[in-house]
């Protein structure tokens, strides 16, 4: 089987920063039809190549960048790429995805994945120019911001080169640090800290190669159907019109817009920070990542002080807005700017600020401990002061930038409202008002996450009653498998508001020529890939006890008004049913028979040693 | 079949004697937003009648208000919506106008007898599958009751199965729709209105197990009008008896034209291309609207994938997207047919292509001097990746070129960059008969 004729480059680029060695290996050919690429490839490599108990910030951790068989073609959003590693924030398997223009450049340079191990002694950058791959010193980039580093690299290498860089929080191995391709980020879980621990400041790439698909005629037909499905979707149209923030108002109406550190599910100033309001007052130009027909990105008009960002998108508006009781668009833009400029995850930064504001409200933390900052709810100045401390990693910012879970270990009284799962700050859908989403937060292999199969359709497309737990484990199981297939093909999830798994399957089958007779084969592949991630976590001791939610969600009825008022999450019955559907035991461990069914017998043998 | 039922079925499906009907769905007003197509319903209805619609689906209230438009023996068939549901209000796009709702509801709103007295020649009714067992069971009961009522008065009952809700996935949606079609037939539907399954093969299967005429619906409107026409042509190819298309017609800038195109495809067997063009063009000129460019680069990869090896890439594209000085600004650099390269070429290796009117390179005359590459104002003439061997001819001996200039060929008249551009940032500005003299001027 020649994988080069099936959408792949059949090359994994390997870099050992300790030894300074660079080499390539072929893809695991026999496994590719089982895992496809992207998330599947990342999970496979991490599980099979990394020893148990690896220190996330030690040289032995793997930092695996990956694209998929469709990457670099004209499939909708085929510039998407991801990273897989062990997260310092969660201690779990961790994958993050990003649009922008870096992913397809790695593919054109001739690589399906890049595996970085080891650690350099001083800052370095990895320079990939098709077949020529070198490590260059990056001492003079030390401490630079995302845009400063990116500009410098463009000047050195040329404007067609694409870069991934980390900012100061990444260099100093903070849990809220992401990895940035200009305005787009692999943001969550401290993946920037892992890159920082390796002293790898930047990865620049330039490629001139091409991607060949297996059956071009079938692929062209699949492209036609996929694009048509995307164009004929009112949800996609809304994404273009009002960005991801188009859902803010409906989430508020559904009582699921987390407000004041998840104390409530409705925000009085929701209208002020909606997509409609940003469109009317702040956005002036649409932006699309490579290969994207949607263009959910928005460039803002400059603020009075000249601040311009690409965004803010929905999650950032929640985290830096309603979660901190901030209803001022300009403040949100400013806070978002700090995150983009210095390389931090907006959800985690907003989670920390909201958490600190509530601790301050309850007298659990004082201004003295926060370098004199008094974080009152909704106060722009203190929020900006806190985010600046984190961005520059100074004063209280040093420990704040470690995230909510780490802060909470120092303040036990704040534990019940430390809004994270497995160490990852919670995203923008209040679990008490969306029970399927609550289950997804609890189960997700990377901690509280809305992008690992959370059935958000229960909130914004009426897929089911969001307040009921009936049928939610099955609903979550289906969306989880779908999402994992999507991430393994390495497309953005947003074309999925027009395309379904069926159109994705037609693309994947034509591009790879693998034996996938039915669309459901791809769903099965998704379940297999999620299970690989679960197996990694089980190996590291993450079982049922970690599949849980904060006390605020489990025990405290939601305050305020809206459909979610008075609601808590009855998690255990959903966990039981979900484990049963997945063929896991009561402790959340996949049983051998199920792994056999999923074609993972070899993994079983490997894990048995 | 009673004579009344037979007459009404004929009236709907045999106006052109081909068993096909092009119908327009305009019943959105009491289920979703008060959008432009709802507000301007009278004007739109007049337009689609002008365009030659065979039937129009409206709510009972609009059937009263618009009654005069249905007059005359050649007037369109009136189809009345017999139930209400709130599915569009469960979505995200309606917060601004309509009050969003949390749970799916579906209610019967009139009897078959009432529909008949409104002048209806058919009624349409939903059957939801995939939301909850209860909604499905209630839907079956409601449809069955309707079929009984319709039989009593000889009114055709069009059931509309919809796969909607948490039980529907990308893996099972075709199966759910196919099942829905069969259930509807088993209940006693006289015709179906159903979403397209996405491809000809699965829709052909759905039609084949349905035993009654199947009308395809269009779904949300695409800005690219080719989409709806293509979908319709595919559905006909799969054996469907026509369409009951809504937003793609009613939200179109020219609903009459849209219906006319659908009619040509259904009743005169026109191809989509014929329906879109209506005439043959030979000469195309591209134009750009950079303010619409989002920088997605689909044009660049699309260009590469239609030339040379036809693999996907970004190298040797015949156009380029440049990042502007301000964030978010893009410049679309493409061949503007300025002909500076033709003028500068010392060996007359570049000329106007006699058919497409693009610039053409005659490699046997090329000495790869590079003057065209240097002079191109948009810098879209680039060096080829590989050289070329040129055999001897009467005029010249054999030679080897290490490289040759790669020029835009406008894809022979259907430029891929304009076809794939999702925002209209690069588009075909004009098509007309090619006249070299005019180009020169």
Do A132 and A206 touch, CB atoms closer than 8 A?
no
Give the other-Cβ count within 10 Å of B363's Cβ. Answer: 15
- A347 and A199 part of one domain: no
Q: How far is B426 from chain A (nearest CA, A)?
A: 13
The chain B residue lying nearest A249, using CA atoms, is B95
From the list A473, A494, A567, A600, the residue with the least C-alpha distance to B102 is: A567
Q: In the predicted model, is pLDDT for residue B280 greater than 50?
A: no
Q: Name beta bridge partners: B430.
A: B285
Q: What tokens appear for B1 in the block?
A: 């079949």
Could you tell me if A440 and A453 are in contact, meaning their C-beta atoms sit under 8 angstroms apart?
Answer: yes
Tell me, yes or no, whether A91 and A192 share the same domain.
Answer: yes
Are A418 and A391 within 8 A, CB to CB? no
The answer to whether position A371 is within a domain reads yes
At A468 the pLDDT is 96
A109 touches chain B (CB under 8 A): no
ipTM above 0.85, yes or no: yes
Residues A304 and A179 in one domain: no
Write down the residue that tokens 């970690």 correspond to.
Answer: A546
Sign of torsion, CA A468 A469 A470 A476? positive
DSSP states along A437-483: HHHHHHH-TTSS-SSSS--THHHHS-SS-TT--TTHHHHHHHHHHHH
Residue contact A286–B223, C-beta within 8 A? no
Among A466, A500, A502, select the one facing B102 at the smallest CB separation. A466
Q: Quick check: B86 and B101 in contact, CB under 8 A?
A: yes
Question: Encoding tokens for residue B262?
Answer: 């659908």
What CATH number is attached to the domain comprising A505? 1.10.599.10
Distances (CA, A) of A203 to A58, B315, B405: 19, 21, 33
Share of chain A above pLDDT 90, in %: 97
DSSP, collapsed to helix, strand or coil, labels residue A85 as strand
State whether B420 and A74 contact (CB < 8 Å). Answer: yes
Whether residue B328 and residue A500 make contact (CB cut-off 8 A), yes or no, is no
**Longest alpha-carbon distance in chain A:** 67
Distance to chain A for B212, nearest Cα, Å: 26
Report CB contact under 8 Å: A287, B170.
Answer: no
The answer as to whether A582 is a domain residue is yes
Q: Give the architecture (CATH level 2) of B3-277.
A: Alpha-Beta Barrel (3.20)
Helices (H) and strands (E) in chain B, counts: 17, 21
pLDDT for the residue numbered B100 = 75
Interatomic CA distance for residues A26 and A41, integer angstroms: 12
- Confidence check: pLDDT of B355 > 50: yes
pLDDT at site B278: 57
pLDDT above 70 as % of chain A: 100
Domain ranges of chain B: 3-277, 283-440
What's this model's pTM, rounded to 2 decimal places? 0.94
Per DSSP, the three-state class of A94 is strand
Give the Cα separation of B313 and A520 in Å (integer): 30
Q: Which of residues 7-66 of B touch A (CB under 8 A)?
A: none
Name which of B198, B222, B423 is nearest A503 (Cβ-Cβ).
B198
B94 — pLDDT class (breaks 50, 70, 90)? low
- How far is A465 from A200, CA to CA, in rounded Å? 47
User: What is the secondary structure of B224-266 as a DSSP string?
Assistant: SHHHHHHHHHHHHHTT--EEEE-HHHHTSS-HHHHHHHHHHHH
Of the candidates B62, B31, B66, the residue with the CA atom closest to the CA atom of residue B49 = B66
Q: Considering only residues 170 to 199 of chain B, which have any Cβ-Cβ distance to chain A shorter than 8 Å?
A: 170-174, 198-199
Q: What is the DSSP string of A545-594?
A: GGS---HHHHTSPPPSSSTTTT----HHHHHHHHHHHHTB-TTS-B-HHH
A466 touches chain B (CB under 8 A): yes
Which residue of chain A has the CA closest to B314? A208
* Tally of domains in chain A: 3
Q: Which tokens belong to B132? A: 């909850």
Query: Which residues sit opposite A8 in a β-bridge?
Result: none
Say what the pLDDT of residue B333 is.
Answer: 95
- A229 contact B CB<8A: yes
Residues A438 and A406 in one domain: no
Mean pLDDT of chain B, nearest integer:
90
A residues 164-193 closer than 8 Å to B (CB): none
Residue A265 in this model has a pLDDT that exceeds 90: yes
Q: What are the φ/ψ torsions at residue A207 (nearest 5 degrees)?
A: -135, 145
pLDDT computed for residue B385 by the predictor: 83
* B133 touches A: beta carbon within 8 Å: no
Partner-chain contact B222 A231, CB within 8 Å: yes
Could you say which of A228, A235, A292 has the minimum Cβ distance to residue B296? A292
Q: Is B91 on the interface with A (CB under 8 A)?
A: yes
A577 touches chain B (CB under 8 A): no
Q: pLDDT tens for residues A454-470?
A: 999 999 888 899 999 99
- Bridge partners for B192 per DSSP: B159, B214
A410 contact B CB<8A: no
Query: A264 and A202 in one domain?
Result: no
Alpha-carbon distance A178 to A403, whole Å? 13
Across the interface, do B171 and A212 touch by the CB < 8 Å criterion? no
A604 and A512 in a single domain? The answer is yes
Q: Is residue A518 a contact partner of residue A473, using CB atoms and an 8 Å limit?
A: no
Which chain B residue's Cα is nearest to A296? B294
pLDDT band at residue A607 using 50, 70 and 90 as cut-offs:
confident
Q: Residue A295 sits in a domain of what CATH number? A: 1.10.569.10
The shortest C-alpha distance from B259 to chain A (Å) reads: 18
Question: What sign for the dihedral angle of Cα B318, B321, B324, B330?
Answer: positive
Structural tokens at position A566: 């008075």
Residues of A in contact with B329 (CB under 8 A): 285
The reported pLDDT for the residue numbered B386 is: 85
Side-chain-facing half-sphere of B395: CA atoms under 13 Å: 5
Whether the CB-CB separation of A15 and A24 falls below 8 Å is answered with: no
Range of the domain at A595: 432-448+456-608
Mean pLDDT of B333-354: 90
Give the model confidence (pLDDT) of B152-167 as tens digits: 999 999 999 999 999 9
Do A440 and A394 belong together in one domain?
A: no
- Is A443 within the bounds of a domain? yes
Sign of CA dihedral A539, A541, A542, A545: positive
| Both tokens assigned to B223 | 């800005």
A88-139 per-position pLDDT tens digit: 999 999 999 999 999 999 999 999 999 999 999 999 999 999 999 999 999 9
Q: CA-to-CA distance for B261 and B227, rounded, in angstroms? A: 12
| The pLDDT of residue B96 | 59
CA dihedral of residues A427, A429, A433, A436 (deg, nearest 10): -80
Distance between CA B228 and CA B22 in Å, rounded? 13
Q: Do A478 and B169 touch (CB under 8 A)?
A: yes
Question: What integer is the mean pLDDT of A231-252?
Answer: 92
Same domain? A312 vs A176: no
DSSP annotation string for A381-396: HHHHHHHHHHHHT-TT
Distances (CA, A) of A164 to A106, A107, B106: 11, 15, 51
Which of A502, A516, A524 is the mutation pick for testing B, counting most B CBs within 10 A?
A: A502
Higher pLDDT pick, B72 / A217? A217
The nearest alpha carbon in chain B to A234 belongs to B220
Least confident of A87-96, B99-108, B311-320: B99-108
Q: Does A464 touch chain B (CB under 8 A)?
A: yes
Task: Give the span between the Cα atoms of B32 and A483, in whole angstroms.
Answer: 29
> What is the number of CB-based contacts under 8 A between chain A and chain B?
201
β partners of residue A396: none
* Cα–Cα nearest to B125, from B113, B103, B135, B140: B140
Q: Hey, CA dihedral for A26, A28, A29, A34, is it positive or negative?
A: negative
Q: A139 and A19, same structural domain?
A: yes
Beta-carbon neighbour count of residue B396 at 10 Å?
A: 11
Q: Kindly state the average pLDDT of the residues A316-331.
A: 98
Of A108, A465, A502, the CB nearest to B198: A502
CA distance A216 to chain B (A): 9
Contacts of B310 in chain A (CB under 8 A): 216
Is A167 in the same domain as A78? yes
* B169 contacts A471 by C-beta, under 8 angstroms: no
Q: Are residues A420 and A443 in the same domain?
A: no
Q: Are B322 and B333 in contact (CB under 8 A)?
A: yes
């Amino acid at each position: 089987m020649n994988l080069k004729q099936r959408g792949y480059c059949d090359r994994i680029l390997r870099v050992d920063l300790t030894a300074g060695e660079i080499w390539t290996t072929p893809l695991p050919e026999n496994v590719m039809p089982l895992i496809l690429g992207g998330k599947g490839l990342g999970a496979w490599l991490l599980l099979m190549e990394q020893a148990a108990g690896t220190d996330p910030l030690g040289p032995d951790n793997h930092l695996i960048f990956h694209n998929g068989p469709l990457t670099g073609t004209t499939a909708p959003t085929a510039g998407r790429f991801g990273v897989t590693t062990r997260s310092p924030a969660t201690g779990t398997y961790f994958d993050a995805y990003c649009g922008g223009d870096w992913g397809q450049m790695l593919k054109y340079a001739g690589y399906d994945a890049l595996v970085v191990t080891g650690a350099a002694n001083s800052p370095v950058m990895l320079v990939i120019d098709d077949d020529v791959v070198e490590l260059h010193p990056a001492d003079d980039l030390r401490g630079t911001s995302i845009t400063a580093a990116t500009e410098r690299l463009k000047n050195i290498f040329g404007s067609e080169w694409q870069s991934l860089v980390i900012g100061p929080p990444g260099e100093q191995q903070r849990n809220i640090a992401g990895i940035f391709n200009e305005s787009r980020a692999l943001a969550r879980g401290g993946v920037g800290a892992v890159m920082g621990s390796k002293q790898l400041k930047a990865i620049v790439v330039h490629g001139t190669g091409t991607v060949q698909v297996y059956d071009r005629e079938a692929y062209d037909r699949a492209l036609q159907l996929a694009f048509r499905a995307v164009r004929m979707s009112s949800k996609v149209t809304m994404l273009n019109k009002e960005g991801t923030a188009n859902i803010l108002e409906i989430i508020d109406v559904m009582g699921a817009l987390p407000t004041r550190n998840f104390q409530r599910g409705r925000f009085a100033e929701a209208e002020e920070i909606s997509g409609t309001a940003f469109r009317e007052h702040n956005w002036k130009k649409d932006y699309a990542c490579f290969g994207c027909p949607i263009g959910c990105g928005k460039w803002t008009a400059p603020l009075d002080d000249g601040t311009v960002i690409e965004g803010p998108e929905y999650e950032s508006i929640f985290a830096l807005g309603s979660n901190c009781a901030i209803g001022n668009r300009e403040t949100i833009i400013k806070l978002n700017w700090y995150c983009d400029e210095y390389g931090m995850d907006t959800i985690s930064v907003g989670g920390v600020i909201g958490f600190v504001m509530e601790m301050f409200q309850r007298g659990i933390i004082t201004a003295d401990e926060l370098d004199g900052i008094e974080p009152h709810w909704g106060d722009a100045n203190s929020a900006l002061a806190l985010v600046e401390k984190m961005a520059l990693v100074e004063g209280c910012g040093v420990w704040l930038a470690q995230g909510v879970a780490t802060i909470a270990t120092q303040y036990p009284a704040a534990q019940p409202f430390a809004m994270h799962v497995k160490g990852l700050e919670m995203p923008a859908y209040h679990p008490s008002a969306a029970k399927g989403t609550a289950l997804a937060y609890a189960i997700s292999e990377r901690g509280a996450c809305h992008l690992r199969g959370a059935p958000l359709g229960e909130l914004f497309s009426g897929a089911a009653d969001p307040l009921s737990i009936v049928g939610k484990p099955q609903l979550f199981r289906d969306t989880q498998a779908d999402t994992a297939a999507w991430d393994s093909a390495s497309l953005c999830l947003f074309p999925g508001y027009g395309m379904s798994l069926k159109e994705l399957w037609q693309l994947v089958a034509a591009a790879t020529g693998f034996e996938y007779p039915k669309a459901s084969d791809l769903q099965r592949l998704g379940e297999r890939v999620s299970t690989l991630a679960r197996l990694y976590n089980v190996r590291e001791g993450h079982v049922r006890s970690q599949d849980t939610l904060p006390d605020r969600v489990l025990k405290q009825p939601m305050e305020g008004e809206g459909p979610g008022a008075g609601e808590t999450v009855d998690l255990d019955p959903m966990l039981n049913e979900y484990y049963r559907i997945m063929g896991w035991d009561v402790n959340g461990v996949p049983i051998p028979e199920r792994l056999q069914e999923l074609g993972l017998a070899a993994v079983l043998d490997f894990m048995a040693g | 079949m009673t004579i009344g039922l037979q007459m009404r079925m004929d009236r709907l499906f045999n106006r052109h004697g081909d068993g096909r009907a092009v119908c327009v769905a305009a019943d959105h007003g009491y289920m979703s937003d008060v959008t432009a197509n709802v507000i301007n319903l009278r004007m739109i209805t007049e337009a689609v009648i002008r365009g030659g619609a065979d039937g129009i689906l409206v709510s009972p209230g609009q059937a009263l208000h618009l009654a005069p438009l249905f007059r005359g023996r050649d007037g369109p068939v009136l189809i009345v919506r017999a139930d209400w549901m709130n599915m569009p209000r469960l979505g995200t796009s309606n917060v601004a106008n309509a009050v969003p709702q949390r749970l799916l509801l579906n209610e019967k709103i009139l009897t078959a007898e009432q529909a008949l007295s409104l002048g209806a020649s058919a009624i349409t009714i939903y059957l939801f599958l995939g939301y909850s067992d209860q909604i499905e069971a209630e839907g079956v009961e409601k449809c069955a009751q309707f079929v009984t009522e319709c039989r009593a008065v000889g009114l055709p009952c069009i059931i509309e199965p919809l796969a909607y809700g948490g039980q529907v996935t990308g893996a099972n949606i075709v199966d759910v729709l196919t099942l829905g079609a069969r259930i509807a037939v088993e209940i006693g539907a006289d015709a179906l209105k159903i979403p397209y399954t996405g491809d000809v093969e699965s829709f052909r299967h759905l039609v084949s197990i349905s035993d009654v005429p199947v009308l395809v619906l269009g779904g949300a409107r695409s800005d690219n009008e080719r989409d709806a026409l293509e979908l319709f042509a595919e559905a006909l190819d799969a054996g469907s008896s026509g369409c009951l298309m809504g937003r793609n017609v009613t939200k179109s800038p020219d609903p009459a034209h849209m219906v006319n195109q659908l009619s040509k495809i259904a009743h005169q067997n026109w191809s989509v291309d014929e329906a879109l063009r209506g005439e043959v063009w030979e000469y195309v000129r591209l134009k750009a609207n950079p303010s619409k460019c989002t920088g997605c680069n689909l044009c660049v990869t699309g260009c590469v994938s239609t030339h040379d090896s036809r693999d996907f890439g970004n190298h040797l594209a015949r156009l380029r997207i440049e990042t502007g000085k301000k964030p978010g600004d893009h410049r679309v650099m493409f061949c503007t047919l300025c002909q500076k390269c033709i003028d500068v070429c010392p060996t007359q290796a570049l000329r106007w292509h006699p058919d497409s009117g693009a610039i053409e390179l005659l490699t046997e005359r090329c000495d790869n001097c590079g003057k065209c590459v240097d002079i191109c104002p948009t810098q879209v003439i680039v060096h080829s990746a590989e050289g070329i061997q040129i055999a001897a001819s009467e005029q010249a001996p054999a030679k080897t070129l290490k490289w040759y200039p790669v020029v835009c060929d406008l894809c022979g008249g259907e430029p891929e960059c304009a076809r794939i551009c999702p925002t209209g940032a690069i588009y075909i500005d004009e098509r007309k008969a090619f006249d070299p003299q005019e180009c020169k001027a």
